[in-house]
Structure 1
Amino acid sequence: MTSVRERIRAIVAGNVDYEAGLDALTVTPSAEVDPELTAAKDEAFGRLWRGGWQPAELHRVVVRRGRPHHADLVTDAVAAHLRQFPQATVDGRWLAQADTLGARVWWTADATYVAELAARRRLDRVAVLDLLLGLLTVLAALPRIEVLVPPSGSAVAPTDLAGAAGSPRIDARLLDRVRALLAKAESTTFPAEAEAYTAKAQELVTRHSLDEALLAARGGDATPVVPHARRVGVDHPHEKEKATLLDAVARANRCHTVSSPELAFSTVFGFDSDIDAVDLIYTSLLVQAHRAMAQAEPAGGKAGRSRLRAFRQSFLVAFTVRIEQRLAGAARLALAQATGGGDGNGGTRPADLLPVLASRDEQIRETIRQVFPHTVRVRASRVESREGWESGRQAADRATLPTDTERGR
């Protein structure tokens, strides 16, 4: 006789008809089904947590592939997972993502989770079983990914995990100031005012990054500084173009990216403070790009969705190409200014900084080779709308870049 657990596995694996399997579980006593279904859910999430997935990443991909309520079940699974470990043995990045999702145990017991979920979501029994089976199907299709943070329960990160320890972050108070400045830059309608805000933000970030690099090279920090990797969500539509924009921002900030479009993220490799800057600047530029695109895009009419889709894709390609040019030029100028003041009065000499930056870049590349031993280059996006291309370049010229401060603006 087939057990409830075996029946659940067969449904998720597609070995039996989904509707027939759901009907069979529905007529089976809840006292037999619910504990097994909850255990199957916990096992599926446990496999993914051990397989490298972090809360925000799994939440994002389930939102993309699943149904609306599935996202809430991911949050529940995060809370259930954290309940097993003392907080001191869970990586801070894991805890921060759980906090952002609002993960908390709201149900009274695992044995009653299915029934309480049905009551909480106002679902009948068939609907709640369908919801959980659908989630298990989504989870079963997800692969193991690169482990970037130590698993929960580990007081100390394993030494073979990239960036597990020793990479300082931007000071929390400084980060709050940078975020506030970029928020003002995104909301103001006055370009000069936006440039002033972003200029100040980049000034703060750049000063911290260069100081950190020199301090680490001179042995001023007792903890060795190592490269780190962080996955940044790249949402649809136009994931390829957005990933290219992220890569342009990353390279301008001495980082590198590896895109995983099927999983809705790119992995950014670099030192933590630089990755923080990449995350902030990329997010800010996306806001500016979408706002400008909405203002410039053509009306509906006969062309319809096809024309609009081509316009938006071409807009983002052109925006990225022009932003990359501006960022590259600003980065060269910033480096020249940083190494041009070595006069013996506290300035930084090229001999101090350039070898440090070269060494850090090689460390980052070696980390990429360890985490992704096999990568392939992808072809650039085609431009199918001249109107979108021209609008995108114009928007990029108007976009406020934090690196504009090094141009003396």
Structure 2
Amino acid sequence: MQNNEPPLETVSAALRGLRAVPGDALEDAVYAAASVVAAAPAGWEAVSGAVLRVGSGIARRCWEHGWQPADVVRLARRELTAAETRFAVDVIAAEARRYAPETLATRWAAQLEEIGAREWWQGDDTFLEGFAGRERLSRFETAACALGALRLMDALPRIGVVGPLPGTAHVQAVRAQAEAVPPRMLGRIRALLAKAESTQFPDEAEALSAKAQQLMARHSIDEALLAAGSTGPSEGPGACRIGVEGPYESAKALLLDAVAAANHCQAVWSAEYGFSTVVGFEADLELVELLYTSLLVQATSAMRRAADEHHARGRSRRTRDFRESFLIAYAGRISDRLSAAVRDVAAEESRPEVLPVLAARDVEVGETAGRMFPETTSHRLKGRDAEGWARGREAADAARLAGGTGA
């Protein structure tokens, strides 16, 4: 590497050199490259600007390959150190400066807020020095941290694109997405769910959940009929990603699949990346996210209580099997309850056009999912602990459904 090499090329060359390095030699290779970057003749401030410039380009390529901010950070938390993950967040924040807020899709903007992607530094030439101070790292350690984070992002493969890229969303489309479930109704549903999860009184929780179910089910049907009767251009199914992380991620993915299926959506789990892609119409996608989150909270709390009792009886060696079996059984029973709740709502409908409209939507969702994921495999999960399985079904029977009452 030449001493007069521009800092941008120094950083880019360091990353290129790391692409083909096998895993067992990666740490040494990163340290060697970090030594070169930290000692670049152009100086630390010039290197700082170059790192952010290279990082922004890598982030943009991630988006073009189908990744979203939450996807990258979720994978970083699994594969990288905490400092490297925070560096990846800062790179995402630097790249996000390119876009006007009104050109970001609603979920994209929400992800930036959720991961804390904010520009805290005053100038790009001071970024690395500021990051080093925040993390209490030397320049060498900071360079190694930067290369570790950028190497992961640079190596991400192409996956299916979900939603508009940042900077390409039209104002009208962003507003339409944001209003798929009106803010007032969404607020009422969220408030009901929060109260149902926190109350200590079963009767109150049941009443709150029933009210939330009524609001959600009615809105889904009304939205479908309104769209079917519209004379303007119709919006087809979309997709969103929902994180499904360990432990017991297979059971959690099963629960999400049950919620999606009951709400006219399809979920495809990408185990290697820690998320499921849910395909459906926008209003249904929002309701799936709400209901899955609520049921996961209930399932996790019930599992922990049951596992504590299981452990107290001296069966700690099988606690993991117990917990996994519990969640698998819970997901299976919840699927039955949600399906029954959907049938009950449909049976109460007097409008003859409801069932054909919903059936047509199901076909559209299936076709869209098939195009996005032409090759999928199905797996049948079975718990390995009989007691955990039984307790999971019991807990599912007692769960307060936001999208349906008890079967």
Q: How does 1:160-179 map to 2 (within 5 A)?
A: 169-179=180-190
1:237 counterpart letter in structure 2: P
Displacement, 1:156? 4.0
Displacement, 1:203? 0.7
Partner of 1:70: 84
1:373 counterpart letter in structure 2: P
Distance 2:155 2:299 in 1: 33
TM-score (norm. length: structure 1)? 0.88
SS in 1 for 2:247: coil
Distance 1:165 1:361 in 2: 25
Indicate if the aligned counterparts of 1:203 and 1:405 stay in contact, CA closer than 8 A: no
SS in 1 for 2:82: coil
Indicate if the aligned counterparts of 1:318 and 1:390 stay in contact, CA closer than 8 A: yes
Q: 1:166 to 1:174 in 2, by over 3 A?
A: closer
Pair 1:268 & 2:278 matched: yes
2:226 counterpart letter in structure 1: L
Partner of 1:345: none
User: Considering only aligned residues, what root-mean-square deviation do their CA atoms show, in Å?
Assistant: 2.4
Specify which of 126, 134, 137 is matched with residue 112 of structure 1: 126
Q: How does 1:207-246 map to 2 (within 5 A)?
A: 207-219=218-230, 222-246=232-256
Displacement, 1:129? 1.5
Partner of 1:149: 163
Indicate if the aligned counterparts of 1:200 and 1:405 stay in contact, CA closer than 8 A: no
Q: How does 1:188-207 map to 2 (within 5 A)?
A: 188-207=199-218
Q: How does 1:224-373 map to 2 (within 5 A)?
A: 224-297=234-307, 298-299=310-311, 304=316, 306-338=317-349, 341=350, 348-349=351-352, 352-373=353-374
Q: 1:52 to 1:194 in 2, by over 3 A?
A: same
Partner of 1:9: 16
1:243 counterpart letter in structure 2: A
Indicate if the aligned counterparts of 1:165 and 1:226 stay in contact, CA closer than 8 A: no
Distance 1:404 1:89 in 2: 36
Displacement, 1:100? 3.0
Indicate if the aligned counterparts of 1:149 and 1:164 stay in contact, CA closer than 8 A: no
Indicate if the aligned counterparts of 1:11 and 1:18 stay in contact, CA closer than 8 A: yes
SS in 2 for 1:17: helix
Indicate if the aligned counterparts of 2:88 and 2:149 stay in contact, CA closer than 8 A: no
Pair 1:19 & 2:31 matched: yes
Indicate if the aligned counterparts of 2:56 and 2:92 stay in contact, CA closer than 8 A: no
Partner of 2:25: none
Indicate if the aligned counterparts of 1:185 and 1:197 stay in contact, CA closer than 8 A: yes
Partner of 1:402: 402
> CA offsets per residue over residues 242-283 of structure 1, 9 Å max, x none?
001000011111111111111111011111111111111111
Distance 1:250 1:35 in 2: 44
Distance 1:77 1:22 in 2: 17
Pair 1:126 & 2:140 matched: yes
SS in 2 for 1:299: helix
Partner of 1:42: 56
Distance 1:38 1:13 in 2: 23
Distance 1:198 1:282 in 2: 14
Distance 2:73 2:111 in 1: 10
TM-score (norm. length: structure 2)? 0.88
Q: 1:223 to 1:205 in 2, by over 3 A?
A: farther
Distance 2:176 2:288 in 1: 19
Distance 1:22 1:155 in 2: 38
1:396 counterpart letter in structure 2: A
Distance 1:405 1:237 in 2: 28
Indicate if the aligned counterparts of 1:150 and 1:156 stay in contact, CA closer than 8 A: no
Displacement, 1:64? 2.0
1:71 counterpart letter in structure 2: T
Indicate if the aligned counterparts of 1:8 and 1:37 stay in contact, CA closer than 8 A: no
Distance 1:177 1:403 in 2: 14
> CA offsets per residue over residues 288-316 of structure 1, 9 Å max, x none?
11111111112278754x51110111001
Indicate if the aligned counterparts of 1:12 and 1:136 stay in contact, CA closer than 8 A: no
- In structure 1, the gaps of 5 or more residues are 158-162, 342-347
SS in 2 for 1:400: coil
Q: Percent identity?
A: 41
Displacement, 1:287? 0.6
